[in-house]
Amino acid sequence: MRNFNFVAVAILGTIGSYLVGGMSSAHAANLIPQSEGEIKTNLGCLTSSCIDTQQELGYTVTSLDYTDSTGQTKYKASRLFSDNRTTANTYGSEINFKMVDEGTNSKTTNFWLRPVAVDEQGNAVEDGRLEVGRFKFDFGKVFSQVQLSLFDVEDTLRTGILEINGKSIKELLTSAGTPDDGSTKFLTLKDVSSFVVQIGYRGADSIWGEKTGDGVYLSGAKTVPEPGSIVGLGALGMVAMFGLRQRKKVSKLAS
């Protein structure tokens, strides 16, 4: 199983405090495909390198339209890719992932889910290298615990969970509020069959300004614990977060 480093847990919002046991006695399954390609969503795929997560991992992904914080500027649904940051990849004529990105660069060799923001015409923004999108993950059954890792959240209170099991809930991540935040933050969801997550942010109030946005990567695992491994389960779900400092962000390749 995948190991997680729990240094501290902060319960967010008004959901309440629950005591969570260690994951060492639980069975965990990675949510991230261990190959590169586009995730099959309601948008279909640009190329033949299409990953059907329902077949491979037992969940579906729906890409959703989203707005900025004012609710006035609406953005089209983003594409989603499984990506290893140690390789460069091209998808179609518009999406070009570099080994060194202009902004979001993880030092790990893990696979991440990487959104690709699109413009009003459905074209990839910044050659596919603006990692922003809103997605619904549906497992079709309840998992007692799902942990999400979100890398390089810089716009505070913009990335996070918007819905659990069809019920609206807003649990958004704080950040250092600087263009070189470079941390990984964790969200732990409990008793979850589906959730909606906002990954990254676009908007005039972004720390990066109106013309770009805050790109973020997503990773995660679902857990079916053995009896006694989780204590004090709640009715809706527990959302927990802590930051783990990893690296400084490469904000620009060239000035």
Within the chain, how many helices (H) and strands (E) appear? 1, 20
Measured distance CA(201)–CA(75) in Å, rounded: 11
**Digit-coded pLDDT (tens) for 22-68:** 333 456 788 899 999 999 999 999 988 899 999 999 999 999 999 88
Q: Which of 124, 147, 117 is nearest to 216 (CA)?
A: 117
The answer on pLDDT for 244 being more than 60 is: no
Answering whether pTM is above 0.85, one says no
Q: For residue 119, what pLDDT is reported?
A: 86
Residue 21 burial by Cβ neighbours in a 10 Å radius (0-12, 13-18, 19+) = middle
Distance of CA 42 to the CA centre of its chain: 18
Residue 140, phi then psi, degrees to nearest 5: 75, -5
pLDDT of residue 16: 27
Whether 218 is in a domain gets the answer: yes
* Tokens describing residue 28: 């965990």
Residue 196 in any domain: the answer is: yes
> Is 128 within a domain?
yes
Provide the percentage of residues in the chain whose pLDDT is more than 90.
39
pLDDT tens by residue, 142-180: 998 999 999 889 899 999 999 999 999 999 998 866 666
Whether 254 is covered by a domain: the verdict is: no
- The answer to whether position 130 is within a domain reads yes
pLDDT score of 10 more than 90: no
Q: How far apart are CA 97 and CA 181, in angstroms?
A: 21
Residue of 161, 191, 165, 188 lying closest to 173 (CA atoms): 161
Let me know: does 246 contact 107? Beta carbons within 8 Å: yes
Nearest-angstrom CA–CA distance, 13 and 119:
33
CA atoms within 13 A on the CB side of 255: 0
Pairwise pLDDT comparison (5 vs 188), residue with the higher score: 188
The H or E element that residue 113 is part of is strand 111-116
- Report if residue 50 sits inside a domain: yes
Stronger pLDDT, 242 or 193, i.e. the higher one: 193
Give the whole-angstrom CA distance, residue 104 versus residue 180: 10
Whether 250 maps to a domain, the answer reads no
Match 């990954």 to its residue by tokens: 199
Q: How confident is the model at residue 194 (pLDDT cuts 50, 70, 90)?
A: very high
Range of the domain at 36: 10-245
| 3-state percent helix, strand, coil for the chain, nearest multiple of 5 | 5, 40, 55
What is the domain count for the chain?
A: 1
Within a domain: 251: no
Please write the tens of the pLDDT for every residue from 62-106. Answer: 999 998 888 878 899 999 999 987 788 888 878 988 765 555 555
CB 69 within 8 Å of CB 75: no
